Chains A and B, each alone.
Chain A
């Protein structure tokens, strides 16, 4: 059997009204957590909300989330063959699932 990673992902639109959902993801050494989340969306559940734009370059700085309680970029955190707990940033307003409102107020439609 090939190795897999288990992504335990926070789901929901309100901070105290969500739930955890686990996804088993095929693991290949060298992959990023964002690779795993994109695999989940394409193969298991496209409704999972994540925010990213540059995919791999760590240039857009949009994919910040909390991995096992620590703030990381999903594109530079390595996927590991174990259970990894992914939650939205706890110090930013929640939008949905792993997406938070990270834009400065002056760059939002609704201030």
Chain B
């Protein structure tokens, strides 16, 4: 194969083609910028957006009067005092406009009597979540945005393009270097503005609800380029991820919409509804927020009251067949083909890594601390604090994506020429195009090992000892990964792709674990068994940097300032 590298120039480079990346591409194009939208997988198919089953929160007030400030209050309360208020406000205030724009583009939000239907989700003070039936929100959002991009024309798209590092000149980001997966070739891209829309890091965990390409790429790219991350200790576990019986062709978070529509009962092995023991009595309704329900399930299992596969039972047996059919139509048939009859049996559910509250530090324009680098969607940290409110992820993808696209276009319009210097890309391009190297590690096995370490030691319940153990394992894996990529370097060489993935995953895992070790309290999604209480002195955010001295943490927020005085 050819070892020649390809060079491309664009105004705005967007990395990741989920909801945030696609909306950013549309907004930047609308503002007159030339756009290149790249994805390590296929355009608009991977990432988390396409996996969303239901619930997009926005204060539309179509059925029940609402105002964005109520959504904002609920978002801050769910975030347990740590939300970045500027970002949370932007999410809630601009959400309805993006939802209406999606509606005009034909996404097909479910309607009742001609009005957009809104469901009540845990943590919201009123019905606020729009959706597309049946379990089709994510696919409909992705398909709609893809259609708008195609109709807009002029957006250059490239799938199978794995961004390996950002390229800088001085303190600014001037583009990126990439591996073209399907040929093995190296690619450099000069951009006046670059947007990281790479999603979260759920792939770091054994059981997760997002695509295999959500390995924290954007966090690692930002860290290596010198941009800080915030709130990295807060990994959201979705409490009722499907556990058993084995079910194929369905997303493991599929029970969420069933609970929105029908309530359902979360039971332990003794047939009791148990969340009341942990502060929220549900009584057949869907009320416990994700952090509370996750904690409750893990604790019940620990107390010997778990289901056979180590989770809880979720039962809709009391709902009756007619109600189930009305709420879920064709999905009931898909369940029957997996030998699941909800009128006669419960299913088993357990917490599953779902979303990352932490991420890249960005302002309301979605600009990071590095000029030329922006972020959008789940990749951004701070809007959701210590625990994300249900329904905020797609809203955040749309709102932050649109904002990032227009900010990036504005920056590009103010720059006369590219500041990209090929010499600054040489090191990373050498890595990408390195010749065949056998190596001894099984990359797929190492990913599985890292996922086990993170699930067992940096999961929903943490201790200092477990976190230390995880850091040692991460350090040891980082050493065995080495500095030079392995694989033959040919077309679709997954060993080389996974080598680059592990380089990112191990760095992201380290950021999560270092921040979790430092936070000696329990708050939201971060629960320390050795520090079980929430402490007002910890009402602050931790910011992580990566540099010559490894990973360093700093504190920000009101409590940090008070403590410093």
Contacts and interface: CB of A to CB of B under 8 A. Distances in A.
Nearest to B441: A46
A107 B252 contact: no
A40 B248 CA distance: 19
A91 interface: no
Q: How large is the interface on A (under 10, 10 to 19, 20 to 34, 35 or more residues)?
A: 35 or more
B381 interface: no
Contacts, number: 131
A27 interface: no
Contacts of A75: 248-249
Contacts of A1: none
A53 B246 contact: no
Given A95-B182, A103-B159, A60 B41 contact: yes
**Chain B at the A interface: SS class:** loop
A99 B160 CA distance: 12
Contacts of B218: none
Interface stretch (B277-285, B307-315, B442-450, B553-561): B442-450
Interface string B473-508: 000000000000001101111110010000000000
Given A96-B490, A109-B187, A103 B248 contact: no
B250 A103 contact: no
Interface in B165-208: 180, 182-183, 187
A68 interface: no
A38 B494 CA distance: 12
A76 interface: yes
A37 B551 CA distance: 36
A59 B138 contact: yes
B267 interface: no
A58 B249 contact: yes
**Chain A at the B interface: SS class:** loop
A54 B249 contact: no
Contacts of A101: 182
Contacts of B245: 30
A22 interface: no
B491 A95 contact: yes
Interface stretch (B44-52, B99-107, B268-276): B44-52
Interface string B238-251: 00000001111111
Nearest to A59: B50
Nearest to B499: A46
Contacts of B108: none
A87 to B, nearest CB: 16
A28 B248 CA distance: 13
Given A101-B182, A109-B158, A109-B187, A53 B41 contact: yes
Nearest to B339: A30
Contacts of B248: 30-32, 56, 58, 75-76, 78
B500 to A, nearest CB: 14
Q: In this complex, which of B51, B180, B492 has the most chain A Cβ atoms within 10 angstroms of its Cβ?
A: B492
A61 interface: yes
Interface string A25-46: 0001111100000100111001
Contact of A54 (B46, B492, B494): B46
- Pick the 6 closest A-B CB pairs, nearest first: A30-B246, A57-B251, A53-B46, A109-B158, A41-B444, A76-B249
20 contacts: A30-B338, A42-B442, A43-B445, A46-B443, A48-B494, A49-B492, A49-B494, A53-B42, A53-B46, A54-B46, A54-B50, A55-B211, A56-B251, A61-B45, A75-B248, A95-B492, A103-B43, A103-B160, A107-B157, A107-B159
Interface of A: 13, 28-32, 38, 41-43, 46-62, 73, 75-76, 78, 95-97, 99, 101-103, 106-110
Interface of B: 6, 41-43, 45-47, 50-51, 138-139, 150, 157-161, 180, 182-183, 187, 211-213, 245-252, 338, 442-445, 447-448, 487-488, 490-495, 498
